[in-house]
Amino acid sequence: MADTATHPPTHVYPAGARERQGLRAGVVSRTTAMVIDIAYVAVLIGAAYLGYCAFRFLRNPRAFTWPVISSTQFITAALIVAAIALAIGWAGIGRTAGMRIMGLRIVGRSGTTLGFTIALLRAITCVVFPIGLFWSAVSKRNASVHDLIFRTSVIYDWQARVPRTKRS
Amino acid sequence: MMGAMDRIPIGGTPPDPDDGEHDNVVRLPSVQASDGVVGIPVESHQVDDAAVDDEPEMSWEEAVAADAEADVPEDPPPVVPGAGMATLLEQGMRVGAGMVSAGASAVADALRSTMPESADEEGEDPAATMAGAGLGAAITAAEAAAAAAKSAAEAVGPIMSWVTNPAALQGASETAAGAARLLDGQWKATQAETAQAATAFLTVLIPEITTAILDQIDLTQIVKERVDINAIVEDVDMDRIVDRLDIAAIVDRVDVNAVVQRVDMGQIVEDLPIEKVVDRVDVNEIVERVDIRGVIDRLDLAEITQDVMDDIDLPSIIRESSGAMASETVQTVRVRGMDADGLVSKIVDRMLRREQRQLEAPGEPKDD
């Protein structure tokens, strides 16, 4: 995980990066961010599983056995964790872990950070229909299906600080 | 000289020198009255004595001459005219004779040294005798000249008596030999006195002459022009001089502190060509002489390292460097993503035959 907090406030951009700040991001950057988010969610699920095991062990160590989770349960848990993680990230700082690494940020239709409800709904949509992301490759405004539904935009924003004041 | 010759009884046996009446030596008053030390410093004293003792020592010829000079010979005048001058002349002649005697003695000694030893053994020294005779004649002539200055008439009589004396023609050779011995005896009798007078005179005269000569001579200039100082210095054995010098004693007498206080060290340092000195210093050679290993052994490297680590916030440096590395990596990934986004969009747009995309996102100023 990159620690973007080490970035200086006035970012020193490489050649060609400054001009593209604030523009809508393309499919490659967003897909890369999504892959990172998937890995991030997997780590969260694994941590949750280990936490659950530790809880069971502490409660009855002698009777401890590794809990067996079915695929349905795993997928369900993964989706739930992913949706929550995405919603918290988007509503909190406007970006998930993957988006932070790739220098992306999601904004509403007025350019502000999403509200939690919109963020959660959009996160559920993304988790259920992740392939809708690839529409951004075709869209004239680099908009995915989720963007079209919730009128959001994912932009290049390497700045670590997120303007919070402009909430519509 | 003629005045002295009339006293020599030519042709007869030489009289006894001890006989006062027939003493052929002309005894000037000053000589007889003096205590044997005749010199210039006592000249005035001699003059007084001459004035007092003049009359008893006068022969009849002198008495006649004195009568011719003075109208009243029985009453000696308080001051005899010409007596002072005669005394001076006599003293001058005596000094001259003394000087001549000194030279003659040396000549006689030289002549004697060239003669065979047998001549010395016989007691007859012809060379010495002749030299003494010559000197005796000289001193007698001097004394006579002095006497002649006092009385001109005194000189006339003896000359005539000598000329009219028929005995002078007889036994001329014997008389000559006797006269020579007599003159020699006369010389020897007054040799010491005359030499002493000459010595006293020269003792006073030589320093005066030397001083006068030196006053007229620029010795320094003469030395500069005539003396080859370098040649003299080259012959000087400096090592021997230095060996004889007690350098330690000289140094002990030098107040080094006073000398140092008078030295302008600041000026010396300013005049020193430090850069030239430093250029001539072989630093590598100095380093080779240094026992670096020994220096290192004496260093507490552990403590020094700990101090350095305490002063350096190493974790912060590692954090910043790793953060910078991560930042660079992330920037590279982001830039690659941007480029890939542009490339994909361009491909898709070309496939769809579409113009540029509208990538401006809704910002704060505008609201879509």
Give the model confidence (pLDDT) of B321-359 as tens digits.
777 777 888 888 899 999 999 999 989 888 888 888 888
Contact, A22 vs B363, CB < 8 A? yes
State the best of B316, B321, B344 to mutate against chain A, taking most chain A CBs within 10 Å: B344
Counted residue by residue, chain B has a size of: 368
Q: Who's near B137: CB < 8 A, 6+ residues apart?
A: B1, B4, B183, B187
Q: How far is B312 from chain A (nearest CA, A)?
A: 20
B355 touches chain A (CB under 8 A): no
In chain A, residues with a C-beta closer than 8 Å to the C-beta of B357 are 24, 140-142
Of A14, A16, A28, the CB nearest to B337: A28
The pLDDT assigned to A146 comes to 92
Cβ of A107 within 8 Å of Cβ of B342? The answer is no
Is the pLDDT confidence value at A87 over 90? yes
Mean of pLDDT over chain A: 85
Residue of A nearest to B324 (CA): A6
Q: Which two tokens stand for residue B310?
A: 């305490």
- List all residues of chain B from 322 to 341 with a beta carbon under 8 Å from chain A: 323-324, 326-327, 329-331, 333-335, 337-341
Of B341, B358, B364, the CB nearest to A111: B364
State the best of B321, B330, B334 to mutate against chain A, taking most chain A CBs within 10 Å: B334
Cα Dmax for chain A: 62
The top-scoring range by mean pLDDT among B141-145, B165-169, B285-289 is: B285-289
Q: How far is A58 from chain B (nearest CA, A)?
A: 37
For residues B52-70, average pLDDT: 52
The top-scoring range by mean pLDDT among A52-56, B46-50, B201-205, B319-323 is: A52-56
Is the pLDDT confidence value at B20 over 60? no
B368 confidence band (pLDDT: 50, 70, 90): very low
Cβ of A29 within 8 Å of Cβ of B331? The answer is no
Cβ of A137 within 8 Å of Cβ of B344? The answer is yes
Cβ of B327 within 8 Å of Cβ of A7? The answer is yes
The pLDDT assigned to A122 comes to 94
In degrees, rounded to 5, the angle at the alpha carbon of residue A99 between the alpha carbons of residues A95 and A100 is 80
The pLDDT assigned to B263 comes to 86
pLDDT in tens, B231-258: 888 888 888 888 888 888 888 888 888 8
Helices (H) and strands (E) in chain A, counts: 6, 2
End-to-end CA distance of chain A: 31
Is the pLDDT confidence value at B268 over 70? yes
Cβ of B341 within 8 Å of Cβ of A101? The answer is no
The pLDDT assigned to B297 comes to 86
Q: How far is A47 from chain B (nearest CA, A)?
A: 25
Contact, B167 vs B46, CB < 8 A? no
Cβ of A102 within 8 Å of Cβ of B357? The answer is no
Cα separation of A122 and A44, whole Å? Answer: 20
Coil, helix or strand at residue A106: strand
Cβ of B358 within 8 Å of Cβ of A3? The answer is no
In chain B, residues with a C-beta closer than 8 Å to the C-beta of A2 are 326-327, 329-330
Is the pLDDT confidence value at A61 over 50? yes
The pLDDT assigned to A27 comes to 92
Q: How far is B294 from chain A (nearest CA, A)?
A: 47
Residue of A nearest to B360 (CA): A23
Residue of B nearest to A104 (CA): B334
Q: How far is B346 from chain A (nearest CA, A)?
A: 10
Is the pLDDT confidence value at A91 over 60? yes
> What ipTM was predicted for this assembly?
0.83
pLDDT in tens, A112-168: 888 999 999 999 999 999 999 999 999 988 999 999 999 999 999 888 776 655 444
The pLDDT assigned to B26 comes to 46
Contact, A141 vs A24, CB < 8 A? yes
Of B344, B352, B360, the CB nearest to A27: B344
Is the pLDDT confidence value at A35 over 90? yes
In chain A, residues with a C-beta closer than 8 Å to the C-beta of B320 are 6
pTM: 0.41
Cβ of B334 within 8 Å of Cβ of A166? The answer is no
Q: Which two tokens stand for residue B207?
A: 């320093």
For residues B267-278, average pLDDT: 85
The DSSP call for residue A153 is E
Q: CA dist A69 to A17, A40, A45, B75, Å?
A: 45, 20, 12, 188
Q: CA dist B2 to B161, B169, B309, B318, B328, Å?
A: 11, 18, 132, 141, 147
Mean of pLDDT over chain B: 71
Residue B238: is it exposed, middle or buried by C-beta count within 10 angstroms (0-12/13-18/19+)? exposed
The pLDDT assigned to B61 comes to 55
Residue of B275 and B112 predicted with greater confidence: B275
At residue B247, what is the residue type? I
The pLDDT assigned to B30 comes to 45
Q: Which two tokens stand for residue A14?
A: 């490489």
Coil, helix or strand at residue B151: coil
